[in-house]
C-alpha cells in the first residue's frame, strides 16, 4: 500500500538509505553522514529546487540529525517548507521543525505566524498539522498568540481537531499553568465529547489536574466509573479493541484516575468497587494486554479505600503473576506485591519463595524490583538481612545512578531500624567504603555524631566500648587503598577524637596513621584538614595528660607542608597546631578538652567581655557604635545602595506575569446519570450550575480520611508479617535472636519449616527442591523467625506436630475461600466468552504461557538455521521474509508449506482476528489456521511485490544487510 | 509526562527513528541512545522487557533485527507500554503491509506521522488504527 509507486523517491535518496542500511559500523555510518552533509550543503542552496526535491532534502536532514550530526545549516529550509500550500509538504516541514528545534529556538518566531494562519485553515488536515507543532514548539511567551484559536478549535466539527486542540491546551497547562487556569473547565466539558477519541485524550490532562488537586474533581468519580463501565461493556467502536480487549489503553488511564480519586476516600471508593471487580473478572490473563489491565486494577485497588473482596482477587492475581514463567509478569507481580503489602501485610508470606527466587535471579531488572519490595517491607526484625543483601548487591554494580539510590536506601533503613549501634557503625562503614562518594555528606555527620553521643544513655562503658571498636575498625580499614573522601573524613575525625582514648594505641601510632592518610590523599584538602585537626587533638590530649610530645618526622614534614599551603584554611590549622605544641598542660586542657565534641559551645553574641574595652575607648573620645537599623541619612553606604537597587528594579523588565483576566467561574459537570442516548456521557446542561456548586462545597469534608490513610501506611511498615495466629503465639521476637537462629539451628529445623510452609504455599511436591539456604533466607526476611523462635523454646521434636496442623488449617481455609470464589463466579447470568476462558485456564495455568510463545517468536535470528529444511511442522517460527531473502526460487517451492506455521504465529501476535484464544497443544490451532492463512495470504504476495520492486531499485536483500528486509511481525 | 522518547534502533545500534518528547541536545541523544542500546543488547530473551536507565525506565521489544525502545517515567504501566509498541508495529504493518526495517527507513516521515497521531505531550492519545491511519491516507491522496 504505502510502498506502491516506486516509493516516489529519487535514486540518490534510495542510495543514501541503502548505504546507511548496509553500514557495518558506527564509524562507517558517520563517514556516510559526513559526506551527505557536504552534499546537502551544496545542493540545498541551489536556486529553484523543485518542491518534491526539497522535501527529500529535508528528510535527508532529518537523517543527519537522527544519526547524531548537526544539520542546523538546513533548519531554515525546513521552516520555509512549513509555508507551503501542499499539505504533504507542509506537514513534512512541520515534522522537521519539531525534530530540529526546541521551543526556545530563534527560528520559532518565523513559524508562529504560519501556525496562526494554519489554525484558521478550512482543511482540517492543515489544522491538525499546525496543532501538532503547537504541542511541541509553543513556549510560554508565544502561548497568547495561538491560545484564542486553540480554544475555538475545541468546538471544531472534526473530532481529530478537537482531540488535538485538547492536547494543545494540555501542553499549555504543562508549560505555564497560569496561562490557561481560566480554561481548565474545558477539559471537564471535553470529557463528555461524543467522540471516544476526544474523550480518551482528555483523560491525559485530567489525570495531571487530578494529581495536583484531587478534591476539585471528586464530583467526577461517578462519571469516570460510568465511562469505565461503558468501555468495559464494549460500547466503544470496535476499532479501539486491542487483542480482544475493549480499549485497554483507555481503561488503564481511567483506572489510574480512579486510583487517585479513591485514595483515602471511602465514599468515592465505594463507587468504584463494582466496576473494578467486573474488569478484573473479565481480564483475559492469557494475553499481555489483559495482564496489563489486571495489573492496573491491582494498583488501583491498593490505592483506594480497601475492600476485602477486591483485595482478595488482587492477591490471587499477584499469585498468578509470581508463579508465571514470564519475567515480565514476575516483575509486575513483585511490584504489585510491594503495593499491596501496605494494606494486607500477610500476603507477602505466601510468596516468600517466589520473592527470593526473584532476588537471586540473574536478571538485574527483576532483582532491583525485588530490592524495592524488600525496602518497603523492612522492619527491625529483618533489617540486618535486607541491608546486608543490599550492600552486597551495591558493591557489585557500576551504575552510579542506581548505586546512589541503593546506598541512600541502606542508610535510611539502617538509621530507621538499626538493632544496635555496633551494627549501625559496621553497616555505615561498609556503605562508606563502597559508595562513600555517592552518599549525602549529612550521613557522615550523623555517623560521627552517633559515635560521639553513643547510646544517649547513662552507660559510659558501653559508649567507650563502641568508640574503641570504631577506632579499631577504622585502623583496619584505613590501610585499604582508594577510600572515598567522606569516609576518610569520618575516619580522621574518629581517630583524632578517640584514637588514644582507651590507651590501647600510642599517640605516635595514631599520628603516624593520620600522616599516612594525609600523604596518600594529598590532593584532597578536606581530608588533609580533618587529618591536621585530628593531629592537633591528639597532641593536645598528650600535653594535657602531661606526657612529652614527640612529633614524628613525617608529621613534622606534614605540618611544614601545610604551613606553606595555598589554602588559607590549611595554613591556619597548621599554625594553630604549632601554637598548641608550645603550650603547657593547663592551657591545652582548656583549648582542647577531652571528649567534648558534644558539649555545647556557648557563644556570647553581645560580646559582653569587650564592654570594658569599649567603655575605655569612648571615654577617650571614640565614636559610639550605632546599630545599622538606627542609622539614618543619605551618606550611609548601605542605604544608598539599597535605593540604587530599588531604582534598577523599577526600570528593569518585569518578570512577574501580568494579572490574569478574571477567571471564568468553572462550570461543573454533573454526576453522570445513566441515559439511553448513544452518547458516552451526557453533556451537562448550563442550568445545572447552581446545583453543582453545592455538590462541590460538600466535597472537602472527605479530606480528613486522608490523614487516616497516612497512618495506615506507617502501620503497614511496622506490623509483623506472619499470620495473626502466629504472631499472637509469639508476639515479641528479640532482634538479637535472629543471627543465633540462623547460625545455630540444625539442618532439620530448616527442613521441617520448609515442609510446613510449603504446604501453605503450594500443595505440590516443591518442598523437596527448595534448598535449606533459601529457607533460611525466607525465614529471616519474612518473620519466619517468630516461628523458629517458638520452636527453640519448646524443643525441636515437638515442632512439626504443632506447626503442620496450623499450616494445613490455613491451607484448608484458603481452599474454602477459593472455592467460594469459584462459586461466585459461575452463576454469572450472561456467559461471557472471556469468563469461561479464565476458568479453564486456571485449571491448566502451569502448562501454557503465552509470553514464552511470544518471546520465541521474536527470536527470529536463531531460527534461520532451520529455514532451509522446509518442514512445515517445525516447532520454531520459520521466517517467511528471510526465505525470500535467500533466493526467489526458494520462495516458490518452499514458501507455501511454510505459510501455515507463519499463519499460526500471526494468530498469536495479531490475535485480534479470531475469537478463540490460541494455545499450543490444545488442538485449537487447526481450526483457526485456515482463516489466519487467508488473512496472511495477500500480505505475502504484497511483500513479494515489494521485494521485487526494491530489487529493481538496486537494493538487494542478498546484500550486506538482509535484516533490512525482514518482516517485523514475523 | 509518561512517555519521554520512542526509539527504533537496529541490532547494530543504528538509529532508525527517534522521537523525543522532551528536548535533548544532539550530543545528549547520541550518548543516551548508545548507552540504552548497549544495555538492551546485553539482555537475554527470557529477561524482563524493562530496564532502568538513569531516571528512565526503558520498555523494549525486538522485532526481527529492530528494537523498539520506549523511555517512560515511573508512573507508566510497563506492560501496557510493551503492548503499545506492538500496537505501533501492527499499525505500521497495516499501512505498509508486512512492514520491515526498510519501510521505516524509506518512509521515515510517515512513521513519524503515525507516532504524531498516537502520542502527544508524551501521552497515548489514540489507539484506534483506523483513526491513526485515516489522516495519513488522506495525505497520500493529496500528494
What is the pLDDT confidence band of residue B142, given thresholds at 50, 70 and 90? confident
Question: Would you call B14 and A950 a contact, using CB atoms and an 8 Å cutoff?
Answer: no
What CATH number did the domain enclosing B102 receive? 3.30.450.60
Q: Are residues A510 and A475 in the same domain?
A: yes
Which pLDDT does position A843 carry in this prediction?
Answer: 39
**Given this model, what pLDDT does residue B79 score?**
96
Same domain, A549 and A474: yes
Q: Are residues A457 and A544 in the same domain?
A: yes
Neighboring chain B residues of A206 at a CB cutoff of 8 Å:
none
Q: Do A501 and A417 belong together in one domain?
A: no
- Is residue A582 situated within a structural domain? yes
pLDDT tens profile A819-853: 444 444 444 443 333 333 333 333 333 444 444 44
Judge if A415 and A473 occupy the same domain: no
- Report the C-alpha gap between A416 and A380 in whole angstroms: 8
Asked if the Cβ–Cβ distance from B100 to A160 is below 8 Å, we say: no
Q: What is the mean pLDDT of chain A?
A: 74
Contact call for B97 and A70, based on CB within 8 A? no
Answer yes or no: do A457 and A531 share one domain. Answer: yes
B84 contacts in chain A (CB < 8 Å): 249
Q: What is the pLDDT of residue A144?
A: 93
A378 close to A386: Cβ distance less than 8 angstroms: yes
Angle at Cα B65 formed by Cα A880 and Cα A965, nearest 5°?
45
- Judgement on whether residues A510 and A424 belong to the same structural domain of the protein: no
Count of domains for chain B: 1
Mutation choice for A interface testing from B77, B90, B124, B139 by most A CBs within 10 A: B77
Domain that holds residue A541: 441-591
Q: Is residue A929 part of a domain?
A: no
Domain boundary (A564, A591, A618) is at A591
The answer to whether residue A530 sits within a structural domain is: yes
pLDDT (tens digit, 9 = 90+) per residue, A337-346?
999 998 888 8
pLDDT at A744: 41
Q: Is the pLDDT of residue A548 over 90?
A: no
CB contact under 8 A, A132 and B120: yes
Question: With contacts defined as CB-CB under 8 Å, which chain A residues touch B55?
Answer: 401
Say how many domains are in chain A. 2
- Please check whether residues A578 and A500 belong to one and the same domain: yes
The verdict on a CB contact (< 8 Å) between A963 and B142 is no
| Burial classification of residue A349, based on how many CB atoms lie within 10 Å of its CB (0-12 exposed, 13-18 middle, 19 or more buried) | buried
The Cα of A496 is separated from the nearest Cα of chain B by a number of Å equal to 39
- Could you report the per-residue pLDDT of A346-361, keeping only the tens digit for each? 888 888 888 999 998 8
Higher per-residue pLDDT: A890 or A259: A259
Alpha helices in A324-459 (DSSP H): 327-340, 347-350, 352-359, 364-376, 383-395, 400-417, 421-435, 441-453
Q: Tell me which residue in A89, A402, A969 faces B63 most closely, judged by beta carbons.
A: A969
Q: Who contacts A307 (Cβ-Cβ below 8 Å, separation ≥6)? A: A269, A273, A301
Which residues in chain A are contacts of B79 at CB distance < 8 A? Answer: 288-289, 291-292, 295, 328, 332
CA distance A909 to chain B (A): 9
**Per-residue pLDDT tens over the stretch A434-472:** 887 788 788 888 888 888 877 655 567 777 888 888 888
Partners of B7 in the β-ladder: B18, B69
Instruction: Tell me what pLDDT residue B1 has.
Output: 63
* Residue A859 maps to a domain: no
Question: In this predicted model, what pLDDT tens digit does every residue of A9-64 receive, in sequence order?
Answer: 788 899 999 999 888 888 899 999 999 999 999 999 988 899 989 999 999 999 99
Q: What residue in B sits closest to A163 (Cα-Cα)?
A: B125
The H or E element that residue B58 is part of is strand B56-63
* Per-residue pLDDT band at A702 (split at 50, 70, 90): very low
Report the pLDDT value the prediction gives residue A940, as an integer from 0 to 100: 59
Q: What Cα–Cα distance (Å) separates residue A679 from each residue in A682, A684, B21?
A: 6, 12, 33
Distance CA A707, CA A59 (A): 56
Q: Are A911 and B87 in contact (CB under 8 A)?
A: no
Q: Are residues A522 and A574 in the same domain?
A: yes
Domain assignment present for residue A810? The answer is no
B20/B4 Cα distance (integer angstroms): 6
> Cβ contact (<8 Å) for B79 and A67?
no
Asked if A965 and B86 come within 8 Å (Cβ–Cβ), the reply is no
Residue B27 vs residue A733, higher pLDDT: B27
Confidence of residue A380 (pLDDT cuts 50, 70, 90): confident
Judged by CB atoms closer than 8 Å, whether chains meet at A940 and B29 is answered as no
pLDDT one-digit tens code per residue, A585-597: 888 888 777 777 7
Q: Average pLDDT for residues A267-295, to the nearest whole number?
A: 94
Nearest-angstrom CA–CA distance, B53 and B10: 19
CA distance A648 to chain B (A): 34
Q: Would you say residue A629 has pLDDT above 60?
A: yes
Q: Quick one: pLDDT band at residue A966, thresholds 50, 70, 90?
A: confident
> Which residue in A66, A70, A363 is closest to B47 by CB distance?
A363
Place of cell 518542491: A51
The residue that leads in pLDDT, A47 or A895, is A47
**Between A270 and A468, where is the model more confident?**
A270
Distance of CA A766 to the CA centre of its chain: 34
Asked if A278 contacts A229 with a C-beta cutoff of 8 angstroms, the reply is yes
Please determine, for residue A875, whether its predicted confidence score (pLDDT) is greater than 70: no
Please report the pLDDT score of residue A836 as a whole number: 34
More confident residue, A421 or A211: A211
Question: In the predicted model, is pLDDT for residue A188 greater than 90?
Answer: yes
Count of alpha carbons within 13 angstroms of residue A573, beta-carbon side: 23
The verdict on residue A779 lying in a domain is no
CA distance A301 to A343: 10
Contact A354, A318 (CB under 8 A): no
CB atoms within 10 A of CB A500: 24
Same domain, yes or no: A389 and A458: no
**pLDDT interval class at A544 (50, 70, 90):** confident
For residue A152, what pLDDT is reported?
Answer: 95
The answer to whether residues A574 and A459 belong to one domain is yes
User: Residue A326 region, left (φ>0) first, then alpha (ψ -120 to 50), else beta?
Assistant: beta
Q: Which of A327, A324, A372, A328 is nearest to A351 (CA)?
A: A324
Provide the domain limits for residue B28.
3-142
Query: Got the DSSP string for B3-22?
Result: EEEEEEEETTS-EEEEEESS
Rg (CA), chain B: 15
A785 or A418, which is more confident?
A: A418
Q: Do A176 and A208 form a contact (C-beta atoms < 8 A)?
A: no
Average pLDDT of the residues in A95-99: 96
Nearest residue on chain A to B97, alpha-carbon basis:
A939
User: B15 pairs with which residues across the strands?
Assistant: B9
Q: Round the average pLDDT of chain B to a whole number and report it.
A: 93
- Nearest by CB to residue A964, choosing from B61, B100, B123, is B100
Chain B residue closest in CA terms to A945: B97
Lowest mean per-residue pLDDT among A200-204, A502-506, A758-762: A758-762
User: For residue A5, is pLDDT > 80?
Assistant: no
Best of B80, B92, B117 to mutate (most A CBs within 10 Å, chain A)? B80
Residue A828: CB atoms within 10 A of its CB come to 11
Question: Which among B12, B84, B106 has the least Cβ separation from residue A7?
Answer: B106
Distance separating alpha carbons of residues A518 and A575, to the nearest angstrom = 17
Closest chain B residue to the Cα of A201, Cα to Cα: B125
B130 and A239: CB-CB below 8 Å?
yes
Q: Is residue A866 part of a domain?
A: no
Q: Which of A570, A591, A612 is the last residue of a domain?
A: A591
Specify whether the CB–CB gap between A310 and A268 falls below 8 A: no
Q: Contacts by A576-579 with C-beta closer than 8 Å and gap 24+?
A: A576/A536, A577/A532, A577/A535, A577/A536, A577/A539
User: Average pLDDT in the A877-889 region?
Assistant: 38
- Categorise residue B13: left if φ over 0, alpha if ψ from -120 to 50, beta otherwise: left
Per-residue pLDDT reduced to its tens digit, A111-135: 999 999 999 999 999 999 999 999 9
Q: Does residue A710 lie in a domain region? A: no
Which of B11, B92, B97 faces A942 most closely, judged by CB atoms?
Answer: B97
Residue A933: pLDDT over 70: no
Amino acid at each position: 500500500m504505502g510502498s506502491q509507486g516506486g516509493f516516489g523517491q529519487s535514486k540518490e535518496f534510495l542510495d543514501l538509505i541503502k548505504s546507511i542500511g548496509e553500514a557495518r559500523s558506527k564509524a562507517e555510518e558517520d563517514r556516510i553522514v559526513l559526506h551527505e552533509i557536504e552534499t546537502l550543503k551544496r545542493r540545498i542552496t541551489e536556486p529553484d529546487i523543485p518542491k518534491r526535491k526539497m522535501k527529500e532534502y529535508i528528510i535527508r536532514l532529518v537523517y543527519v540529525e537522527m544519526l547524531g550530526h548537526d544539520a542546523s545549516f538546513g533548519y531554515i529550509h525546513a521552516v520555509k517548507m512549513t509555508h507551503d500550500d501542499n499539505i504533504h509538504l507542509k506537514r513534512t516541514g512541520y515534522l522537521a521543525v519539531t525534530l530540529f528545534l526546541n521551543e526556545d529556538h530563534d527560528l520559532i518566531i518565523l513559524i508562529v505566524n504560519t501556525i496562526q494562519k494554519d489554525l484558521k485553515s478550512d482543511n482540517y488536515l492543515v489544522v491538525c498539522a499546525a496543532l501538532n507543532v503547537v504541542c511541541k514548539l509553543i513556549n510560554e511567551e508565544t502561548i497568547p498568540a495561538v491560545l484564542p484559536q486553540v480554544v475555538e478549535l475545541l468546538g471544531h466539527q472534526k473530532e481529530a481537531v478537537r482531540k488535538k486542540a485538547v492536547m494543545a491546551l494540555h501542553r499549555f497547562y504543562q508549560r505555564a499553568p497560569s496561562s490557561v487556569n481560566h480554561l481548565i473547565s474545558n477539559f471537564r466539558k471535553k470529557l463528555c465529547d461524543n467522540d471516544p477519541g476526544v474523550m480518551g485524550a482528555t483523560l491525559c490532562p485530567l489525570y495531571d489536574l487530578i494529581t495536583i488537586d484531587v478534591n476539585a474533581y471528586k464530583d467526577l468519580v461517578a462519571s469516570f466509573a460510568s465511562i469505565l463501565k461503558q468501555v468495559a461493556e464494549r460500547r466503544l467502536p470496535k476499532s479501539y479493541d486491542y487483542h480482544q480487549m475493549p480499549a485497554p489503553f483507555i481503561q488503564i488511564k481511567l483506572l489510574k484516575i480512579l486510583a487517585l480519586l479513591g485514595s483515602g476516600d471511602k465514599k468515592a471508593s465505594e463507587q468504584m468497587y463494582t466496576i473494578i471487580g467486573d474488569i478484573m473478572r473479565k481480564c483475559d490473563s492469557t494475553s499481555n494486554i489483559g495482564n496489563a489491565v489486571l495489573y492496573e486494577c491491582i494498583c488501583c485497588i491498593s490505592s483506594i479505600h480497601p475492600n476485602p473482596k477486591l483485595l482478595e482477587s488482587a492477591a490471587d492475581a499477584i499469585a498468578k503473576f509470581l508463579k508465571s514463567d514470564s519475567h515480565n509478569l514476575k516483575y509486575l507481580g513483585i511490584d504489585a506485591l510491594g503495593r499491596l503489602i501496605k494494606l494486607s501485610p500477610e500476603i507477602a508470606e505466601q510468596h516468600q519463595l517466589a520473592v527470593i527466587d526473584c532476588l537471586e535471579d540473574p536478571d538485574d531488572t527483576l532483582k532491583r524490583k525485588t530490592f524495592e519490595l524488600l525496602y518497603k517491607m523492612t522492619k527491625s526484625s529483618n533489617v540486618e538481612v535486607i541491608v546486608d543483601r543490599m550492600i552486597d548487591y551495591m558493591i557489585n554494580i557500576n551504575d552510579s545512578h542506581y548505586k546512589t539510590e541503593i546506598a541512600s536506601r541502606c542508610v535510611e533503613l539502617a538509621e530507621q531500624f538499626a538493632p544496635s549501634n555496633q551494627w549501625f557503625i559496621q553497616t555505615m562503614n561498609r556503605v562508606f567504603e563502597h559508595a562513600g562518594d555517592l552518599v549525602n555528606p549529612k550521613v557522615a555527620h550523623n555517623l560521627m555524631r552517633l559515635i560521639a553521643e553513643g547510646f544517649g544513655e547513662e552507660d559510659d562503658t558501653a559508649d567507650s566500648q563502641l568508640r574503641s571498636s570504631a577506632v579499631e575498625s577504622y585502623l583496619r580499614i584505613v590501610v585499604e587503598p582508594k577510600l572515598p573522601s567522606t569516609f576518610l573524613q569520618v575516619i580522621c575525625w574518629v581517630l583524632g577524637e578517640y584514637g588514644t582514648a582507651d590507651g590501647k594505641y600510642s599517640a605516635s601510632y595514631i599520628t603516624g596513621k593520620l600522616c599516612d592518610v594525609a600523604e596518600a590523599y594529598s590532593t584532597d584538602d578536606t581530608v588533609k584538614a580533618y587529618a591536621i585537626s585530628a593531629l592537633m587533638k591528639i597532641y593536645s590530649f598528650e600535653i594535657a595528660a602531661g606526657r612529652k610530645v614527640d612529633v614524628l618526622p613525617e608529621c613534622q614534614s606534614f605540618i611544614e607542608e601545610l604551613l606553606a599551603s595555598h589554602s588559607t584554611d590549611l595554613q591556619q590549622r597548621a599554625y594553630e597546631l604549632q601554637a598548641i605544641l608550645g603550650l603547657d598542660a593547663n592551657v591545652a586542657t582548656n583549648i582542647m578538652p577531652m571528649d567534648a565534641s558534644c558539649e555545647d559551645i556557648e557563644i556570647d553574641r553581645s560580646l559582653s567581655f569587650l564592654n570594658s574595652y569599649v567603655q575605655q575607648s569612648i571615654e577617650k573620645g571614640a565614636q559610639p557604635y550605632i546599630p545599622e537599623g538606627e542609622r539614618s541619612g543619605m551618606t550611609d553606604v548601605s542605604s544608598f545602595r539599597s535605593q540604587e537597587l530599588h531604582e534598577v528594579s523599577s526600570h528593569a523588565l518585569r518578570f512577574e506575569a501580568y494579572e490574569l483576566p478574571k477567571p471564568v467561574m468553572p462550570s461543573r459537570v454533573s454526576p453522570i446519570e445513566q441515559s439511553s442516548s448513544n452518547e458516552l456521557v451526557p453533556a451537562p446542561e448550563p442550568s445545572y450550575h447552581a446545583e453543582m456548586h453545592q455538590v462541590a462545597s460538600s466535597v472537602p469534608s472527605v479530606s480528613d480520611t486522608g490523614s487516616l490513610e497516612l497512618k495506615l501506611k506507617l502501620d503497614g511498615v511496622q506490623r509483623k508479617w506472619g499470620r495473626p495466629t502466629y504472631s499472637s503465639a509469639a508476639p515479641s521476637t528479640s532482634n538479637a535472636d535472629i543471627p543465633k537462629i540462623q547460625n545455630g539451628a540444625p539442618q532439620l529445623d530448616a527442613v521441617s519449616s520448609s515442609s510446613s510452609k510449603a504446604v501453605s504455599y503450594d500443595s505440590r511436591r516443591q518442598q523437596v527442591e527448595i534448598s535449606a539456604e533459601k529457607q533460611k533466607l525466607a525465614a529471616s526476611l519474612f518473620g519466619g523467625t517468630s516461628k523458629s523462635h517458638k520452636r527453640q523454646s519448646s524443643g525441636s521434636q515437638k515442632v512439626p506436630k504443632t506447626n503442620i496442623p496450623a499450616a494445613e488449617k490455613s491451607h484448608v481455609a484458603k481452599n474454602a475461600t477459593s472455592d467460594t470464589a469459584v462459586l461466585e463466579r459461575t452463576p454469572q447470568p450472561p456467559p461471557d466468552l472471556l469468563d469461561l476462558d479464565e476458568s479453564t485456564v486456571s485449571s491448566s495455568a502451569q502448562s501454557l504461557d503465552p509470553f514464552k510463545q511470544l518471546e520465541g517468536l521474536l527470536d527470529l535470528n536463531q531460527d534461520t538455521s532451520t529455514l532451509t529444511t522446509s518442514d512445515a511442522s517445525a516447532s520454531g517460527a520459520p521466517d517467511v521474509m528471510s526465505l525470500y531473502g535467500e533466493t526467489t526460487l526458494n520462495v516458490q517451492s518452499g514458501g507455501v508449506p511454510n505459510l501455515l506455521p507463519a499463519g499460526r504465529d500471526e494468530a498469536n501476535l495479531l490475535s485480534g482476528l479470531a475469537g478463540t484464544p490460541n494455545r499450543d497443544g490444545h488442538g485449537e490451532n487447526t481450526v483457526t489456521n485456515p482463516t489466519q492463512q487467508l488473512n496472511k495470504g495477500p500480505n505475502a504476495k504484497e511483500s513479494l511485490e515489494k521485494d521485487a520492486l526494491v530489487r529493481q531499485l538496486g537494493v538487494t536483500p542478498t546484500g550486506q544487510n538482509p535484516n533490512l528486509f525482514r518482516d517485523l511481525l514475523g | 509526562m509518561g512517555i519521554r522518547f520512542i526509539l527504533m534502533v537496529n541490532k547494530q545500534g543504528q538509529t532508525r527513528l527517534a522521537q523525543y518528547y522532551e528536548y535533548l541536545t544532539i550530543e545528549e541523544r547520541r550518548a543516551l541512545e548508545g548507552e540504552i542500546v548497549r544495555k538492551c543488547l546485553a539482555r537475554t530473551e527470557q529477561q524482563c522487557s524493562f530496564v532502568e536507565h538513569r531516571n528512565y525506565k526503558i520498555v523494549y521489544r525486538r522485532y526481527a533485527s529492530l528494537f523498539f525502545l520506549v523511555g517512560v517515567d515511573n508512573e507508566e504501566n510497563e506492560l501496557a507500554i510493551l503492548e503499545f509498541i506492538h500496537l505501533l508495529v501492527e499499525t505500521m504493518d497495516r499501512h505498509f503491509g508486512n512492514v520491515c526495517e526498510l519501510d521505516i527507513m524509506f518512509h521515515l516521515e510517515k512513521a513519524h506521522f503515525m507516532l504524531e497521531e498516537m502520542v502527544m505531550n508524551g501521552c497515548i492519545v489514540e489507539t484506534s488504527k483506523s483513526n491513526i491511519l485515516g489522516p495519513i491516507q488522506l495525505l497520500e491522496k493529496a500528494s
